[in-house]
Structure 1
Amino acid sequence: MSDFKTKWKVFWRIVGECALRALTPAAMYFVASILLMLIGTKVKTPSATITWAVVCAIGALAYNGFLMWVCGGSHYEMLVSGNLKRRSAMQLGSELKITSYKFQKEYRPWKGFIIGAFAGIFVLIGSIIFGCNQTEMMRAAASEDVSLSGGLTAVVLIFNCLAGWALFPFVTLNNAGTYVSYFLASLLILLPIAVSGGLYIAGAYGRRNKTLRQQEIAARAAEAEQSKPKKINYGGLPGTKPKKRR
């Protein structure tokens, strides 16, 4: 039972770490969505709206990728610290004390994909809600006499803010009379998942390669230092230093 509790505790700590790492990318998607909504008030054609949606999405995904690159590198360093602690425990019988070490921050190849799923979860939820209410939303957009309920209006506004970079183009097309299922928008969650997972792994390998290069440079410098001829100190006494040959 205690082993189960320990594993459960570890699981939730890892989930919490992934959710925490997803907050900043999710905030960037929120900013991109707000920006797209503001642009949508100025742009009238669906094609222009979709173009701006692509631009905003690329910007948000690029920032997401940068954050995951950094995260992968820091998690790789934590993995190295964890390996040192485990090796010390196996060989010496006691673990090294590393104050900055957190096991939930160790690198694992799948963590980036989980972080991306958390960052894009609002796309999935919003597309399902919009898809289930697509008929009502299209009727409200087509006729001024039909309006959405207060609760649905609030939900639409909230998810346009949280995941508008993915949902707003579908809203624009449907409001223009072109039927496109909102459920298709759920596929766009694959973008943050792929970007987060790929750049997380790339960041870890980048930090690993950088560490190996630094170790190689340090090893070469040490070898060069050892190969240098050592100077003999004669103490500066007269007659103790050999004369140089002419």
Structure 2
Amino acid sequence: MTTPQDLLAVLVDADNVAPSRIGAVLTEVARVGTASVKRVYGDWTSPRLSSWKSAASEHVIQPIQQFANTAGKNATDSALIIDAMDLLHAGRFDGFCIVSSDSDFTRLASRIREEGVTVYGFGERKTPESFRNACDSFTYLEVLEAPVADDAGREPAAVPGRVPTSRLRSDTRLVARLRAAVETASGEDGFGDLAAVGSLMRKQHPDFDSRNWGYAKLSDLVRATELFEVGARPGGGVQVRDRRRAG
């Protein structure tokens, strides 16, 4: 994974992402690296992208013009993919951030990872599983900030708050994945390092994020299930154990 000193290329599909989201995306990007290149792709002659112009200027993102020459063909996606491959072969970047909810970027993400370069995806919850799983990490736009109205003034669905314990425990897929990760990371006493658990979850399920259930930290989510013992780890950090291993 990258560090805040590593160089990242941030490539945004303007046809597929609201400009009101980009500030939160860039804040998230800053947690994992430095956005050395920031580009947003679209047909800037289209009235649909008018609100993107001020957002691109505010966040110093380079607009890349791509005319929609043929109806039904997404020229914007093609331009983004071509630029991404050029940047990849330049060998300067430690990671790519692809901001889109479009499955057309699935092969691009896979190809970049084949070169040993990290891919961070950002998109809405509607993003197809194929693209989410092709990334090293995928973050839903809905968890990055409070909901905002769209360009037509329509209010979006509210981002849910913390999912209560009863619903967490009935989420069989979440529980099974957490238990499997804890078991893999644990020693003979059943305790595993929580950071290692989080890393395993991300590697196996790129869209895993405790914020998807309304919890800012993994430790908060794990505690809320009431299925695990969570406490300080000798020597620092946090450890976790499946309560079924206790005693």
TM over 0.5: no
Larger RCO of the pair (alpha carbons < 8 Å, separation 6+):
1
Structure number with the higher strand fraction is 2
TM-score (norm 2): 0.22
Using the size of structure 1 for normalisation, the TM-score is 0.22
Larger of the two Rg values belongs to structure: 1
